[in-house]
């Protein structure tokens, strides 16, 4: 969060500077600043550190369908060690994955933090046709926190 606020403050400052220029180059400067903002935002999203304890609470929304601390499957596959796992690769759930999820895994989709964040934000967009009956998490903080929990659990 500290990094995030600093990054945003920096981005705002550079935008402000660009706006305050009245030279013909100011549009160009503005464009460069916006590019910098996007780069920064992307970088921050990729490295956002979540809070595992808060993530455990977010995970309550997944609990009806997923177990993360053991390899027991429910309606959904177990999520023990899911961070870094290939999509549709829990052997115990092999007969239950949708074709869409199996195809995504076969095409090389790995649940790294970026892909997980995108999937949890919009499951149906990230893997069209997958059968997870969950609309997604709206809050980026919730997403970062639940990923931190999945990464940390079940380690003490």
Residues within the interface to ligand HEC (CB under 6 A): 61-62, 64-66, 75-77, 79, 82, 87-88, 90, 97-98, 100-101, 111, 116, 120, 130-134, 137, 146
The rounded distance, in Å, linking the Cα atoms of 148 and 89 is: 21
Q: Which is nearer to ligand HEC, 36 or 134 (CB)?
A: 134
Q: How far is the CB of 101 from ligand HEC (least distance, A)?
A: 4
Q: How many CB atoms lie within 10 A of CB 62?
A: 20
Q: How far is the CB of 53 from ligand HEC (least distance, A)?
A: 16
Question: Cis omega (within 30 of 0) on the bond before 118?
Answer: no
Q: Which is nearer to ligand HEC, 42 or 129 (CB)?
A: 129
| Residue 34, token pair as written in the block | 């916006």
Q: Which is nearer to ligand HEC, 15 or 103 (CB)?
A: 103
Q: What does the H/E/C string look like for 17-38?
A: HHHHCCCCCHHHHHHHHHHHHH
């Amino acid at each position: 969060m500290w990094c995030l606020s600093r990054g945003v403050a920096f981005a705002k400052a550079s935008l402000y500077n660009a706006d305050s220029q009245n030279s013909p180059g100011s549009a160009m400067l503005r464009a460069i600043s916006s590019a910098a903002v996007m780069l920064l935002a992307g970088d921050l999203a990729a490295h956002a550190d979540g809070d595992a304890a808060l993530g455990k609470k977010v995970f309550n929304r997944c609990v009806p369908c997923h177990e993360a601390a053991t390899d027991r499957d429910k309606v959904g596959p177990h999520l023990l060690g899911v961070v870094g796992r290939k999509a549709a690769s829990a052997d115990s759930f092999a007969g239950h994955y949708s074709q869409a999820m199996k195809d995504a895994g076969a095409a090389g989709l790995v649940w790294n933090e970026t892909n997980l964040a995108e999937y949890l934000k919009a499951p149906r967009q990230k893997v069209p046709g997958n059968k997870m009956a969950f609309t997604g998490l709206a809050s980026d903080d919730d997403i970062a926190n639940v990923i931190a929990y999945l990464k940390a659990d079940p380690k003490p």
